[in-house]
Each structure stands twice: as structure tokens, then as C-alpha cells.
Amino acid sequence: MAALMLHEQQLPLPVQLPDHAQFSNFVLGDNAQAHAHLARLPEATWQPQDQFTLLFGGSGRGKTHLLCALCEAFADAGRSSIYLPLSELANPQAVAALNGIESYDVIALDDIHAVIAIPEWANALFALFNRVTDKRDSYLVCTSLQSTARLPIALPDLRSRLQLAVSFHLKTLSDSEKVQAMQQHAKARGLELAADVGEYMMHRLSRDMHQLMSVLDELDKASMARQRRLTLPFIKQVLEF
């Protein structure tokens, strides 16, 4: 639907953040520091060193989960948030999405690598960083596939701003942790996923978390439609194994 997700004190909006993305159901693995840093921001006294944060690492490591959990936590604390998936806005005309968003308590920009090489976007992001800096009471959190040093940034001044961010390199989960993550997401949907069923899915499908979660969504819909539990025979039937 819309390429924009907002959450501000129960306002009626066309797109809502996913209910399953919470700090409480994020499987930490080797990413406990990033989780702890973000989880304390909604209730913390604003500090300049926390103003900018960058989460980077390969696909399927929980970057989007953490951003959505952060926005949910700010909403729960009665504070405003905005989430922008920049991979869906990767054209010069879409830079208007950044206009005025410094007014939010937290700004979550997902996949900045998708736009950072576009001059119009680099200039608009640089201007946003400056407005947030001047405001001195909000947070800007970005995600990227790469570290600041490796990003193909179209504007050198923007690179210098990103280098001010507290950076966390998110690591991939182990196989057992991926099963645990699937179980957590299934539980958030009111489903029970046995460990052996999760292991079967991972070994038959993919170890990529995005694909596994997409399949879990499909199984959730099938389970509701047929009023069936997520047993191994049912999963084999739905996925035609």
C-alpha cells in the first residue's frame, strides 16, 4: 500500500507497523548491544551522543524488526515516530517524504543504501541531518547493508554526518536462533511452532530469514482458513512438499 508507515498516538493511518515487531520478541544472537541501545531510547533523557544511530549488515539480520520495534516502543511511551522504507522511495521525486519529519521524536529510515547514491536524496538527507542536529531533542536511526565507509554516498558532507552515528554491525543468527525467531513470530500470531517443524522448514526452504518469515505468513493464513495447527503434515500439505 503506502510507502510510508506512521505511528503517532493512535492516529488513524492507512498502514500500521507490524504487531509482531517488538523488542521483546527479537532474538538477540550476537546483537544484544544494538538491541539494548535502541530499547532504552523511548524512556531515556535525550543525549547528543544518541542522536544518530546506524544499523548495518546483510539481509535478514533483523534491521527492519528493530526499527519497527523502536517506533512501537515510542508510540507506547506516548511519543511520535515515523518509519520510511527507502527502498520503496528510490527515485529523486520522492525526497519530499523527508520534508518536516524532524518534528517526530524518532525518525526510522530503513535501507538508506537504496537512495544514498542519488544526488537529490543525498542532499535531502544531509539537510535532514542538519535539521535534526539543530532540533536537539529527537533521534534519527538508519539501516544499511553496508557500513558508512563502504556506502556509495553522493555527497561527502553526508558521509561526515553518518560517521557521527553510533554504529552497530548486526550479525546473522545461528540455525537454532533462526528457529527460535520463527517460534517467536508464530507465537505473536497466536500460533505454536514446534522446534522440529521450524528446523524442517529451514532445511527444506532456506536459511534466509526474509523467506522464512514470508512462508510463516503464508502458513498463518492457511492455518486460519482451515482451522489447523502448524503440524508437520499440514505444513507439507500447504507447501506441497
For residues 85 and 138, state if they share a domain.
yes
Quick: pLDDT tens for 29-40: 999 999 999 999
Confirm whether pTM is higher than 0.75: yes
pLDDT number for residue 105: 97
Q: Of all residues in the chain, what percent carry a pLDDT higher than 70?
A: 92
The grid coordinates of residue 28 equal: 538477540
State how many domains the chain has.
Answer: 2
d(CA 58, CA 170): 8
Quick: pLDDT tens for 131-152: 999 999 999 999 999 999 999 9
d(CA 92, CA 90): 7
For residues 45 and 159, state if they share a domain.
yes
For residues 153 and 231, state if they share a domain.
no
Q: Which domain holds residue 233?
A: 175-239
pLDDT number for residue 221: 87
- Torsion of the alpha carbons at 15, 21, 23 and 27, rounded to the nearest 10: -160
For residues 158 and 183, state if they share a domain.
no
For residues 135 and 211, state if they share a domain.
no
Beta bridge partners of 185: none
pLDDT band at 206 (very low <50, low <70, confident <90, very high): confident
For residues 55 and 103, state if they share a domain.
yes
pLDDT band at 241 (very low <50, low <70, confident <90, very high): low
